[in-house]
Structures are given as structure tokens and as C-alpha cells.
Amino acid sequence: MLRTRVLTSVVALPLAIALVALGGVWLFALLALLFTLATVEFCQMMRRDGYRPNAVLALPLLWLLLAEAQLEQWGRGGWLLGPGVCMALMISLSWQLGHREGKPTVDWALSMGGALYVGWLGAYLIRLRGLPDGLWWVLASLASIWIADSGAYMVGRRWGRHKMAPTLSPGKTWEGYWGGVVTGMLGAVGLIALWRAWAGPVGPTPWQGCGLALLISTLAPLGDLVVSMFKRQVGVKDTGSLFPGHGGALDRIDSVLWAGVIGYYFALAVGAIS
């Protein structure tokens, strides 16, 4: 399992970093693909519990949320989301009410809820990348959660004793959680120091990186627990099998969604957004 996780990361991480570096339509395409798969996985999971959310209804809302964030970067946002969301909701409601079986209100809410959770939070990665020095802010945010996740996994395997959330995720321990917080902070600060030595004073300072990593490594794991709550309800171990050793797309972006939101508002708080 550990070897499979490492091999998957070795292949996936360089590709993800390259597309983040390119930004623009390349990053948009990567996020749209991952978030589409994650939303489909969410709908499929809820169907295992007897509900009938429909990805065909959820995906237009997801794409509208992402498109609005991308258009903002090109100075053309602000007009698409409101009318588009209302239209998507009317179409969704009409379609669901035309099917008498099941619970159409719950099914509609689940369809929209999955798209909103993934799309609304995920769009902040696009907004963060569009900031001045946005590349470095995105990399700092992603590095914080990736290093924290790896640190939590390794520390938890070696020293984990006290269960953190046994009813949601029995494998998570408090030792692993705090190990992730420490490794996330140290790793992010180290990377920021290295790239500032190489590229100059770009992106967050090491002190800002320390604060960013502390917030992300402390709060973003809640995104993992949220998805664990979904999985526990329907009785599955992973949301899918897209990434060997890691699970599905929703498994891989669960904490990243939170990291993007935290990174954006932290950058706002420290003055990176004029």
C-alpha cells in the first residue's frame, strides 16, 4: 500500500505542479476534470444509500462556479453565476419533480449540494492562482496540505495510539494529526525559504508561510473528515479508484478544497490582494 501511494504521488505531483505553474486554461482544465470526477463520485456514493442525485444535473452548476472564477481572472466575471445558477436550479427542479418515485427534494438537494461543495470551494484555487504572485501562494498552500498529509500518515503509522475520530475515520490518530501540523509547517517554511533564495522575494514570506501552513495543516484535515462522513454513511472505504493507493478524485481533493479557501483568505488578510 505504501509503495503504491508513493508511486502514484511520483507520477501525479509533477504533472499537477506543472499545470499549476502554467495557470490559465491549463489549471482550469485540470481542476475541471478532477472536480467533475469528484462530483460524479459523490452522486454515485449517495445512490448507494437509496437516494437518486443526478450528476447530469450537478455538473452544470459545478462548471458555472469554476467558469465564474476563471472569468474573474480575465476581468469578465460577475454576470454569469447568478443567472446561470438560477437557470440550473430551475432545470434541476423541473427534472426531479417530473420523476414521481424517490424523494425529489432530497435528490435535488444532494445534486446541488455535491456541486456546491466541490465547485464553490474548488473555485478558490483559481482565484488564488490569479493573485499577484499567485503561483507561489498556490504552491505554498498545496505544499502545506500535501506535506501535512504525508507527515500525518507516517507519524500515525509509527506512533499513532489515540483515535481522533473513530466513528468517521478509525485510522486517524491525534499523534498523526499533530505530526501533520508540525511537518506541514516545517516543510512549507523550508520550501518557501528555498524558492525565495532562488527566485527572489516572491509569494509569502517565511513567516507568512509559517502562519499559512499552521492554519492549513490544522484546519484542512477537516475536509478529509467531511468526506469520511460521506463514506461512512454509505459504507464505502474510498470514493473511487482513480488513484491507486489513494482512492478516488474526491479522496484526493478533500483537504485541498479547504486549503484553497484558507490560502485565499489568508493572502487577503496579509495584504496580498489589493
65-82 pLDDT, tens digit per residue, is: 999 898 876 656 556 667
Write the CA distances from 219 to 1, 45, 226, 269, integer angstroms: 26, 25, 12, 17
Query: Is residue 237 predicted with pLDDT exceeding 90?
Result: no
Cell of 111: 445534486
Neighbours of 13 (CB within 10 A): 12
- Structure confidence at residue 37 as a pLDDT band (50, 70, 90): very high
- The Cα–Cα gap between 145 and 159 comes to 20
| Rounded (to 5) percent helix, strand, coil in the chain | 75, 5, 20
Identity (one letter) of the amino acid at 93?
Answer: L
User: Using an 8 Å Cβ cutoff, are 62 and 39 in contact?
Assistant: yes
Burial of 76 (0-12, 13-18, 19+ CB in 10 A): exposed
- Structure confidence at residue 257 as a pLDDT band (50, 70, 90): very high
Q: List all residues 6 or more positions away from 259 whose beta carbon is below 8 Å from its beta carbon.
A: 141, 142, 144, 145, 216, 220, 223
Q: List all residues 6 or more positions away from 202 whose beta carbon is below 8 Å from its beta carbon.
A: 133, 136, 195, 196
- The Cα–Cα gap between 167 and 45 comes to 18
User: What pLDDT score does 143 carry?
Assistant: 92
Cell of 80: 454569469
- Structure confidence at residue 174 as a pLDDT band (50, 70, 90): very high
98 CA to centre of own chain: 33
Q: What is the mean pLDDT of the chain?
A: 85
- Structure confidence at residue 60 as a pLDDT band (50, 70, 90): confident
User: Using an 8 Å Cβ cutoff, are 70 and 127 in contact?
Assistant: no
Write the CA distances from 162 to 147, 150, 153, 171, integer angstroms: 21, 18, 14, 10
- Tens digit of each residue's pLDDT (9 = 90 or more) over 183-231: 999 999 999 999 888 878 888 999 999 999 999 999 999 999 999 999 9
- Structure confidence at residue 9 as a pLDDT band (50, 70, 90): low
User: What pLDDT score does 92 carry?
Assistant: 67
- The Cα–Cα gap between 149 and 31 comes to 20
- The Cα–Cα gap between 65 and 56 comes to 15
User: What pLDDT score does 101 carry?
Assistant: 64
DSSP 8-state class, residue 247? B
